[in-house]
Structure 1
Amino acid sequence: MPRNEPTEVTGEWDGERSAKRRKAVRYAVPVAVAGVAAATIGLVPAFAGSGSPDLPKISAQDLIAKITKSDVQQLSGTVQVTTDLGLPTLPGGTGAGGFGGAEQGHGGAGGAASPQSKLTELASGTHTLRVAVDGPDKQRVSIVGNSADYTLIHNGADVWAYDSGSNSAVHHTAPRDTHRGAHHGAPEGLPKGLQSATPQELAKAALEAAGDTTSVTVGDTAKVAGRDAYQLVIKPKQAASTVGSIRVAVDAANGVPLKFTLTPKSGGPAAIDVGYTRVDFARPAADSFTFTPPKGAKVVNGDKAAGQAAREHGKGKDLKDLKGRKGPKDFGGLNVIGKGWTSIATLKGAGAPGGKDQLAKGDAGKFLDSLGTKVTGSFGSGHVFSTRLVNALMTDDGTVYVGAVDKQALIAAADAAK
């Protein structure tokens, strides 16, 4: 059956094509869902279905344009999220990205029902989300658990978060300007960290990174959630990147990204795999976006609680361990060096609260040795902490270098800074 030719897209597009690429993030599927800061998905056979559909050939430029022009504003379906970042296991058997369960809560407004308390849950393992969207003002997502569900609903000015396990709910008022441009992404009334667990939002981030450091081609066709799809293949050109490739399955009929798969250069299962297992582009039922707290539920006014928390932080009640440090500026400043896929974030003074060289001595040094790899260079010495995608170098004088790059790139960055 026909296959698409590997037409490569680079940063040398003409003005019109570059404009299309910049617009590629503006597809109208505002699924505001509990998300991950960095998504990783294993290749789940159930996503692909059987066989590859016979579709007309399409260039990478035209496929990106198809995403750009997509104007789908209603859908419902089931999304499977699998993350395998290779995060270290902490004492007690809990992964660094693990989540203790709804019953434990994680502070913040509403405890267990607070949206922020769900962030780390999606950073590892496999999770099922049920989503529904009806334009920029109505979204619903539920994280389906073994014994309890967590639901986030945005309906106009109201944002509700409900945890059935603790029978607790948090209500927030969405900002007045939430509707402005909301059809291009998740509503501003929802937590930013809880907006990235759909193929659409992940594809947006990947396309934003496309440029002269990126190769973009069209791969084989696929079946995703019963839909015919093209596959956009995104690969870094920079050898130091830990990203092997990203595949975005795009609905052949309407241009909506249906599946996002990020595979590390080191191989093995995908680090991020997010895709629809079921999708319907009909308008969801109106009652999908209504919510009334169940009888006996603990209901928290999130706006009031957030204001109180801000006042307490302003008084320094929860900042005792930071010894007066209030942000990156107090640590010497957050800086980003390099470009494209090999960008490295640096933060000076964040790793050595006890003073220069203290991290390398005594029990602290032994603890770091157990978690990371000891490295040396013209910068001095330090430890590299690794996952399947992101590596971090903490020097003994307290400077931290972090990026989706290999160990040698971090050492070279630290050497160049001296």
Structure 2
Amino acid sequence: MAPNDSAETNGEATGTVVGRRKAARYIVPFAVAGVAAATIGLVPALADSGDPELPDITAQELIEKIAASDEEQLSGTVKITTDLGIPSLGGLAGSFAPGAGQGPAAGESSASPDAKLMELASGTHTLRIAADGPDKQRLSILGEGSEYSLVHNGDDVWGYDSESNEVYHAKSDGKGRADGEAGKHKAPEGMPATPKELAEEALAAAGDTTSVTVGGTAQVAGRDAYKLVIKPKQSGSTVGSVTVAVDASTGVPLKFTLAPSSGGKAAVDAGFTDVDFAKPDASSFSFTPPKGAEVTEADELEAGAEKDGAADEARKDLSALEGFKGLDVIGEGWTAVAEIDVPGGAGLPAQGSGDVPAQAQQFLDALGDKVTGDFGSGTVFKTRLVNALLTDDGKVYVGAVTKDALVKAADTAK
């Protein structure tokens, strides 16, 4: 077993990753987004079946191994679980959404990647992926008796929802994104979905506030792997550790686990259950709309949104954001907190004021904790990773930090 060699990062490791890492050519580049990240206790069973004996390696060498990985071809199955600890209130939250229960609105399609890929931000999902270089990728989300597939093959990007028998089609810009007229229509770059994407996000954030060590070995999807362990050196972060299982042969991350500092099961866990680095069959990347399927072009979605007025509404929403005075960052590293001024300085309506419907008030109360400090008073809205403090005088403090750290940051700002 490899020893627990460590490297306290000082920015040089990050520079190595950024400067030398290959483009993630074998990863579906328009896939999912986390979490972030993104965002992903999934697969404890698939992670360990005896710790293999592997040659010693340092943390720096393992980071360089990830950066140097140039595998362009693979296929396999990934299981991903995201548990951010957001309370479930049944259909209550959904009842506040405009047009809830009425199906896709004008300018939308059930086969469009936007909503489908965001489903990976919560729950447990099984994905099948395949890639053959930068121009051919396929990602399929397997449901109960249904499947959603996103296929990139050369100039074309196809989305297919088998449940609704709807098809989405767009032209690719050559980077895994779909462009339409004047580059307006882009499939979402999304949150990281594969273990390598998640690992690169974590390594890019490493700096002198971070400890990186080799935490032994494991077997993932039947392959020998080293475990790279990334931990904040600061107290007050909601992130306890990030563990990346790295294939000992190829340097490809096979499993990514983000453990919250509060303990319990992983907040984000994604790992291959099987993986093959052979060239996938060409049929994996071919797609023909099934007979009777409704095909929607990206340009049609834009035109439908314009006709329905949805684009005007979106522009109004964006113009409202111009009222923000920008943000200041308090602290650094894992405990950095963003301070944002809300336009008009409006905080939450007071409880019992009658300004909020009873159901909405119930939803807010379930999410938030009332807090006070030198800054005044406000409400902290919590997940297992990202927390936000909305003060009564209309400021927002948000970060991957604990409630106490948010209050301390708000007091510091005063």
TM range (shorter): 0.7 to 0.9
Match of 2:349 among 355, 358, 362: 358
Match of 2:287 among 291, 305, 310: 291
- In 2 relative to 1, CA 153–341 (structure 1 residues): closer, same or farther, beyond 3 Å? same
Partners of 1:395 and 1:279 lie apart in 2 by: 48
- In 2 relative to 1, CA 53–122 (structure 1 residues): closer, same or farther, beyond 3 Å? same
- In 2 relative to 1, CA 179–70 (structure 1 residues): closer, same or farther, beyond 3 Å? same
Partner of 2:83: 84
Partner of 1:5: 4
% identical aligned pairs:
55
Alignment of 1:373 with 2:369, yes or no, is: yes
- Give the secondary-structure state (helix, strand or coil) at the position aligned to 1:61: helix
Partners of 1:81 and 1:417 lie apart in 2 by: 38
Partners of 2:215 and 2:43 lie apart in 1 by: 18
Partner of 2:384: 388
- In 2 relative to 1, CA 315–293 (structure 1 residues): closer, same or farther, beyond 3 Å? closer
Q: What is the CA distance between 1:411 and its match in structure 2?
A: 1.3
Write out per-residue CA displacement over residues 157-181 of structure 1, whole angstroms, 9 at most, x where no aligned residue.
1011110000001101112x5279x
Contact 2:86/2:367 (8 A) holds in 1: no
Alignment of 1:191 with 2:183, yes or no, is: no
Q: What is the CA distance between 1:220 and its match in structure 2?
A: 1.2
Partners of 2:105 and 2:19 lie apart in 1 by: 38
Partners of 1:34 and 1:18 lie apart in 2 by: 23
Partners of 2:15 and 2:381 lie apart in 1 by: 38
- Give the secondary-structure state (helix, strand or coil) at the position aligned to 2:319: coil
Partners of 1:358 and 1:18 lie apart in 2 by: 44
Contact 2:39/2:82 (8 A) holds in 1: yes
- Give the secondary-structure state (helix, strand or coil) at the position aligned to 1:331: coil
Contact 1:24/1:67 (8 A) holds in 2: no
Q: What is the CA distance between 1:5 and its match in structure 2?
A: 3.1
- Give the secondary-structure state (helix, strand or coil) at the position aligned to 1:400: strand
Contact 1:110/1:170 (8 A) holds in 2: no
Unaligned runs of 5+ in 1: 181-187
Match of 2:142 among 118, 141, 144: 144
Partners of 2:369 and 2:341 lie apart in 1 by: 20
Partners of 1:248 and 1:327 lie apart in 2 by: 40
- In 2 relative to 1, CA 359–29 (structure 1 residues): closer, same or farther, beyond 3 Å? farther
Partners of 2:8 and 2:324 lie apart in 1 by: 40
Q: What is the CA distance between 1:287 and its match in structure 2?
A: 1.1
Q: What is the CA distance between 1:121 and its match in structure 2?
A: 1.7
Partners of 1:170 and 1:111 lie apart in 2 by: 7
Instruction: In structure 1, give the amino acid aligned to 2:137.
Output: Q
Partners of 1:57 and 1:287 lie apart in 2 by: 41
Instruction: In structure 1, give the amino acid aligned to 2:333.
Output: G
Instruction: In structure 1, give the amino acid aligned to 2:59.
Output: A
Instruction: In structure 2, give the amino acid aligned to 1:299.
Output: V
- In 2 relative to 1, CA 332–215 (structure 1 residues): closer, same or farther, beyond 3 Å? same
Write out per-residue CA displacement over residues 107-146 of structure 1, whole angstroms, 9 at most, x where no aligned residue.
4754211111114421222100000000011110000000
- Give the secondary-structure state (helix, strand or coil) at the position aligned to 1:192: coil
Greater mean deviation of Cα atoms: 103-112 or 54-63: 103-112
- In 2 relative to 1, CA 57–89 (structure 1 residues): closer, same or farther, beyond 3 Å? same
Instruction: In structure 2, give the amino acid aligned to 1:362.
Output: S
Q: TM-score, normalised by structure 2?
A: 0.87
Instruction: In structure 1, give the amino acid aligned to 2:312.
Output: G
- In 2 relative to 1, CA 364–326 (structure 1 residues): closer, same or farther, beyond 3 Å? same
Instruction: In structure 1, give the amino acid aligned to 2:175.
Output: T
Instruction: In structure 2, give the amino acid aligned to 1:160.
Output: W
Q: What is the CA distance between 1:40 and its match in structure 2?
A: 5.0
- Give the secondary-structure state (helix, strand or coil) at the position aligned to 2:52: coil
Q: What is the CA distance between 1:364 and its match in structure 2?
A: 5.2
Alignment of 1:31 with 2:28, yes or no, is: yes
Partners of 2:347 and 2:62 lie apart in 1 by: 52
Write out per-residue CA displacement over residues 287-311 of structure 1, whole angstroms, 9 at most, x where no aligned residue.
1111111011010011342355368
Match of 2:112 among 114, 125, 131: 114
The number of aligned residues is 397
Alignment of 1:265 with 2:258, yes or no, is: no
Partner of 2:277: 281
Match of 2:312 among 310, 316, 321: 316
Contact 1:360/1:382 (8 A) holds in 2: no
Q: What is the CA distance between 1:28 and its match in structure 2?
A: 4.1
Partner of 2:175: 178
Q: What is the CA distance between 1:151 and its match in structure 2?
A: 0.4
Partners of 2:103 and 2:202 lie apart in 1 by: 32
Contact 2:43/2:271 (8 A) holds in 1: no
Contact 1:41/1:261 (8 A) holds in 2: yes
RMSD between aligned residues: 3.0
- Give the secondary-structure state (helix, strand or coil) at the position aligned to 1:112: coil
Contact 1:384/1:393 (8 A) holds in 2: yes
Partners of 1:314 and 1:82 lie apart in 2 by: 33
Q: What is the CA distance between 1:400 and its match in structure 2?
A: 1.6
Alignment of 1:225 with 2:221, yes or no, is: yes
Write out per-residue CA displacement over residues 394-415 of structure 1, whole angstroms, 9 at most, x where no aligned residue.
1112222111101122112222
Partner of 1:208: 204
Q: What is the CA distance between 1:327 and its match in structure 2?
A: 4.7
